[in-house]
């Protein structure tokens, strides 16, 4: 059973470009979480999605950021018109979502560098 | 979200037990206590979780106070590979997982 797969692992963008980060959850998992981690800082929650639904997006910046988890295919975190402050590691996690078994499985992260 | 408080950092000697504390005085009756850790340059990994009773697994033990306002993660014999940031998280069903700053554990050879 493959783990949570994130790609690309490293992404370099110039200011103003778009960044798309993909996350394929573990098989059988229907819940996906996205977190951002700035250098030397903790993980900041961004968004929690279930298939085709956004459950909690309270951590998403109001502009330029969007996330989706379609019925088929990976979850996508999209950052439009990137700025230097968007440089960070973006982690995706998945879970079965059942009750409070609660175990999150994390990917190895996508490291975005904005020049 | 309920809050947790952890020391910023702790040190341990290799092969000695480590007790990592977490205070969560505002915990609600349906909050589970979760522990994750993050090794350098990696994504977090699950360690253990519990509700009221103490829990043991192959990685660690979780001791939960009777009033549930605090808990302690116990690593029975620290190894160099246990050096990581350890996060204590409260989570109710359907909520997201909110990570605080955690405790940075250093293990000395």
Residue-wise pLDDT tens digits, A31-90? 999 999 998 788 999 999 998 899 889 999 999 999 999 999 999 999 999 999 999 999
Chain A nearest CA to B86, separation (Å): 11
> Between β-strands B84-91 and A5-7, what pairing exists: parallel, antiparallel or unpaired?
unpaired
In this structure, of A73-82, B14-23, B71-80, B86-95, the range with the lowest mean pLDDT score is B86-95
The two structure tokens encoding residue A42: 């903790």
At A96 the pLDDT is 83
The two structure tokens encoding residue A84: 């230097």
Spell out where chain A has E strands: 5-7, 10-13, 19-24, 31-37, 43-50, 53-56, 65-68, 75-79, 88-95, 105-106, 110-114
Across the interface, do B95 and A100 touch by the CB < 8 Å criterion? no
Is-contact B12 B108, C-beta < 8 A?
yes
Partner-chain residue, chosen from A91, A102, A108, that has the shortest CB–CB distance to B34 = A102
The stretch B58-73 carries a mean pLDDT of: 95
Between B5 and B92, whose confidence is greater? B5
């Amino acid at each position: 059973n493959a783990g949570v797969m994130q790609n690309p692992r490293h992404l370099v963008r110039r200011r103003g470009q778009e960044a798309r980060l993909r996350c394929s959850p573990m098989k059988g998992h229907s819940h996906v979480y996205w977190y951002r981690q700035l250098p030397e800082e903790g993980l900041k929650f961004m968004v929690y999605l279930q298939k085709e639904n956004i459950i909690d997006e309270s951590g998403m910046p109001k502009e330029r950021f969007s996330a989706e988890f379609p019925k088929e295919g990976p979850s996508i975190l999209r950052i439009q018109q990137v700025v230097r402050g968007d440089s960070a590691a973006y982690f995706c996690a998945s879970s079965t979502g059942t009750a409070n078994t609660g175990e999150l499985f994390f990917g190895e992260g996508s490291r975005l560098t904005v020049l | 979200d309920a809050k947790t408080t952890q020391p910023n950092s702790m040190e341990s000697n290799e092969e000695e037990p480590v007790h990592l504390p977490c205070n969560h005085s505002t915990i609600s009756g349906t909050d589970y206590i979760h522990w994750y850790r993050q090794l350098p340059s990696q994504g977090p990994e699950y360690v253990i979780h519990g509700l009221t009773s103490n829990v043991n697994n192959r990685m660690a033990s979780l001791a939960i106070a009777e009033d549930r306002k605090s808990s302690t993660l116990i690593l029975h014999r620290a190894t160099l590979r246990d050096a990581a940031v350890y996060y204590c998280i409260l989570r109710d069903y359907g909520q997201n997982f909110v990570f605080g700053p955690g405790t940075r554990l250093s293990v000395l050879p």
